[in-house]
Structure 1
């Protein structure tokens, strides 16, 4: 079995990207990445090799995220005031309000999707992961990830059109 230092060097960026795609919070993603590798270090002897190590680490990361959410129900997953989120030039307040409404509408549509589709959409849109990486993380094929993303996008468009927005 590889040393935990080697695992960290090889997979920390992947775990961080995965966590950032679901939390949209750089600081929290970093904390959860550290927690993921701590948990991996504690349980590595139980790793049976039935999946890639990156998949196993992302599963640990997902559980760490769920645990964090349950500890703090009011956790904000995105703050535009945070470093890493550029503040765009603001033309006027009306434009900002319209953009926020559009973002809210998109996240409402995303939230209405089933869990697997929602996860694929977040990983692709927020984490900017490839379909191959997404498939690996969720334990499916690249084709499955592509089809799931496409179908999710179509559902969102259909729902948006139905709501007249």
Structure 2
């Protein structure tokens, strides 16, 4: 078994990218990565070797993310003023609006996908993980991840064309 320092050096980037793909927040992803390795250090004796270390660590990371979500549900909500983004510069406003509309359409079509396909799409697009890493995290093959991503793109393209007809 690797030392915890080696474990961190070898897998921290993978765990961080996985967390970033589901949180979309760099600071939170860094914090949860640290929490993941802290929990791994406490429970390394429970690792049975039935899966890759990266998969085990990503499962710990996912539990840390769920714990964070539950913790945030109990916090008071923030005011509307805090939620409003700053106004963009006048020259970039049209470009920003179009980009936001494209993002909205993409996320809308992502929501139409089944849970596994949606997770593959998020991991690939937001986390920039390889198909091999996605397959490992989800307990599937690299080829399964590729096919699922391809089919997800096809479904999203079909969904966009249907919305444009409405």
Which TM-score tier does this pair reach, normalised by the shorter chain? 0.7 to 0.9
Matched residue SS, 1:105? helix
Q: What is the rounded CA distance, in whole Å, between the counterparts of 2:38 and 2:61 in structure 1?
A: 10
What is the aligned partner in structure 2 of residue 112 from structure 1?
112
Query: Once the 2 structures are TM-superposed, how far is the Cα of residue 129 of structure 1 from its aligned partner?
Result: 1.4
RMSD (CA atoms):
2.2
Distance 1:23 1:90, change over 3 A: farther
Name the CA distance, whole Å, in 2 between partners of 1:89 and 1:123. Answer: 32
Structure 1 distance, partners of 2:43, 2:72, is 25
> What is the 5 A alignment of 1:78-117?
91-117=91-117
What residue is the counterpart of 1:5 in the other structure? 5
Aligned to 1:23: 23
Give the C-alpha shift of residue 111 in structure 1. 2.2
Q: Does 1:123 align with 2:119?
A: no
TM-score calculated relative to the size of structure 2: 0.85
TM, length-normalised to structure 1: 0.85
Please identify the structure whose Cα radius of gyration is greater: 2
- Cα deviation for residue 3 of structure 1 reads 2.1
Gaps of at least 5 residues in structure 2 are none
CA distance in 1, matches of 2:142, 2:148: 10
Say which structure is richer in helix: 2
Matches within 5 A, 1:34-53: 34-53=34-53
Q: CA deviation at 1:92?
A: 3.2
Instruction: Quote the Cα distance in structure 1 between the aligned partners of 2:155 and 2:65.
Output: 26
SS at match of 1:164: helix
Stretch deviating more after TM superposition (29-38 or 110-119): 110-119
Q: Distance in 2 between matches of 1:41 and 1:90?
A: 50
Structure 1: segments with no counterpart, 5+ residues: 82-87
Measure how far apart 1:89 and its partner are.
Answer: 9.0
The CA deviation string for residues 7-48 of structure 1, in whole angstroms up to 9 with x for no partner, is 111111111111111111110110000010111111111111
